[in-house]
Amino acid sequence: MRPPQEIIRHKRHGGTLAEAEIAHFIAGLTDGRVTEGQAAAFAMAVCFQGLSLAERVALTRAMTRSGTVLAWDLPGPVLDKHSTGGIGDAVSLALAPMVAACGGFVPMISGRGLGHTGGTLDKLASIPGYDVAPDLACFRAVTRTVGCAIIGQTAELAPADRRLYAIRDITGTVESLDLITASILSKKLAAGLDGLVMDVKTGSGAFMAEIEAARELGASIGAVANGVRLPTVALITCMDAPLASTAGNALEVAYAIAYLTGRRREPRFHAVTLALAAEMLMIGRLAADRGEAETRLEDSLTSGRAAEMFSRMVAALGGPGDLVEDPGRHLPRAPVVREVREAGTVAAVATREIGLGVIALGGGRTRPQDSIDPAVGFTDLARPGDAGGLLGVVHARSEAEADRAETSLRAAYRLGSPSAGRPAVLERIG
């Protein structure tokens, strides 16, 4: 078997790797024989040269088998959703309890923030006491008794992806279609799913800024999922502006709670959440068609069952039992809160810049070992067509940081006459 450096060299020059070579490299990534530098070089080689479908399937299988693969015996389908990442994308926090309230089981393995996008795991880590990395026995128990459990990758589940994920975040290889495909599917296969729904973002705040690239990624995930026998549907959704009007970790948890309890339901966030959750119910045969699925999901919200599921999940994983009733008591808050105003109508948003603004405030990472300030970010973000003068509200640790965030927020907005916006859900692949 070729040593790691020769596997890297072969791929760097455009060669095709055998399944055994990929498995050997991933095994080395898991047990430490492959160094961080070699993993970064492999990721860069793949980013430049790409992988064939057979190589993508082999990489996905190898990363799945690098740890434990769960098997379930539950009275309903085991389902999940994954997003390629965006700004203000707190959908997972609302969707998982909604699907659980409709009879599905959602063992969701989520990641940290990647590049300019926020991570579901970082959001949940802002909840005091919430254990984002429980052992597998706890993960199984919460999924079984509550119906949903959102955690991070443990040492047992797809550990090779866990290591490569952190390296991709800081080496400029996040956008690789092949690595995204293998990363997503290896985690989901390790979770023992019966079905998966993908949210592939496109637009100014997405990794796939052009819709053609989003279609390519959706098709890639579908092809590899078919190769590993995981029923999968993908929706392409619009990220031309923040999905929610909030960006930041604790701030997005508060937003999701407001959504679940009905205190605030913004149309675009609701449309994407409902569309993805409906696909989950249909792929799990919990609803015969989209109309039935949406009716059941709306009822989970109006009845309060979805909010109850979220509350039970948080408590079962160590968080406060009254978080839903009193989020302001438990979630961290930044000491400096500042409105940013500018007269005029919002024509367009450079959404990626808002994500980078959250990172600059301390709400994201530039190195794997960086800590995150959970309280910082933006709320009340304006969307194209808004003309009230408020661009957003900065939540910062200091006045100096608020000054910088205000500058970056102003730079992210273009004022003028807005063009016709795209719908929240653009296409379905499946």
Per the structure, the complete domain to which residue 24 belongs is given by: 4-50
Indicate whether 408 belongs to any domain: yes
Q: Is 123 a catalytic residue?
A: no
Q: Which of 84, 110, 120, 300 is catalytic?
A: 120
Q: Please indicate, yes or no, whether residues 175 and 272 belong to a single structural domain of this protein.
A: yes
- Distance between CA atoms of residues 188 and 243, nearest Å: 24
- Catalytic-labelled residue, pool 81, 116, 268, 330: 81
Identify whether 95 is part of a domain.
yes
User: What's residue 114's pLDDT?
Assistant: 64
Query: Domain check: are 220 and 252 in the same one?
Result: yes
Q: Are residues 195 and 292 in the same domain?
A: yes
Active-site option among 64, 84, 183, 220: 183
**257-283 tens-digit pLDDT:** 999 999 999 999 999 999 999 999 999
> E strands within 257-371?
336-341, 346-349
| Catalytic entry in 64, 83, 117, 232 | 83
Q: Which two tokens stand for residue 167?
A: 């390296």
CA separation for the pair 184, 72 (Å, rounded): 20
User: Catalytic site residue 201?
Assistant: no
Strand partners, 394: 338, 378
Residues 162 and 197 in one domain: yes
Q: What is the CATH number of the domain that holds 366?
A: 3.90.1170.30
DSSP assignment of 248-266 equals SHHHHHHHHHHHHHTS---
Reported as a single tens digit per residue, the pLDDT across 145-156 is: 999 999 987 788
160 vs 153: CA distance, rounded Å: 10
345 in the same domain as 311: no
Q: What is the DSSP string of 161-228?
A: HHHHHHHHHHTT-TT-HHHHHHHHHHHHHHTT-SEEEEEEEESTTSSB-SHHHHHHHHHHHHHHHHHT
What pLDDT was estimated at residue 12? 96
Could you give the number of structural domains in the chain? Answer: 3
Residue 187: active-site member: yes
Phi, then psi, of 421 in degrees rounded to 5: -80, 160
What per-residue confidence (pLDDT) applies to 118? Answer: 73
Contact by Cβ (8 Å): 413, 406: no
**From the candidates 66, 80, 123, 143, which is the catalytic residue?**
80
Same domain membership, residue 248 and residue 170: yes
User: Phi/psi at 268 (nearest 5 deg)?
Assistant: -70, -40
- Residue 73 domain-assigned (yes or no): no
Q: Give the C-alpha separation, 218 to 138, whole Å.
A: 32
Catalytic one of 11, 163, 188, 395: 188
Same domain, 95 and 170: yes
The per-residue pLDDT string of the chain (430 residues; one tens digit each, 9 = 90 and over) reads: 889 999 999 999 999 999 999 999 999 999 999 999 999 999 999 999 999 999 999 999 999 999 999 999 999 999 999 998 889 999 999 999 999 999 999 999 887 766 677 789 999 999 999 999 999 999 999 999 999 999 987 788 889 998 898 888 788 887 788 998 998 899 889 989 999 999 999 998 888 889 999 999 899 898 898 888 899 999 999 999 999 999 999 999 999 999 999 999 999 999 999 999 999 999 999 999 999 999 999 999 999 999 999 999 999 999 999 999 999 999 999 999 999 999 999 999 999 999 999 999 988 877 767 789 999 999 999 999 999 899 999 999 999 999 999 999 999 999 999 888 899 999 999 7
CATH number of the domain within which 44 lies: 1.20.970.10
CATH number, domain at 98?
3.40.1030.10
210 and 108 belong to one structural domain: yes
Residue 63, domain member (yes or no):
no
Residue 426 lies in a domain: no
What one-character DSSP code corresponds to residue 107?
A: E
Give the neighbor-by-neighbor strand order of the sheet with 390-396.
336-341, 390-396, 377-379
* Domain closes at, from 264, 282, 316: 316
Tokens encoding 115: 């590049």
Q: Are residues 260 and 145 in the same domain?
A: yes
**SS3 for 409?**
helix
Cα of first residue to Cα of last residue in the chain, in angstroms, is 38
Specify whether 31 is located in the same domain as 171: no
Is 221 part of any domain?
yes
Domain assignment present for residue 428? The answer is: no
**Are 183 and 311 members of one domain?**
yes
The DSSP bridge partners found for residue 195 are 79
From the candidates 123, 162, 187, 201, give the one annotated as an active-site residue. 187
Please report the sign of the dihedral spanned by the C-alpha atoms of residue 116, residue 248, residue 372, residue 114: negative
If asked whether residues 156 and 39 sit together in one domain, one would say no
Catalytic residue among 112, 168, 215, 296: 168
Structural tokens at position 261: 């309890």
Is position 188 annotated as part of the catalytic site?
yes
Q: Is residue 323 part of a domain?
A: no
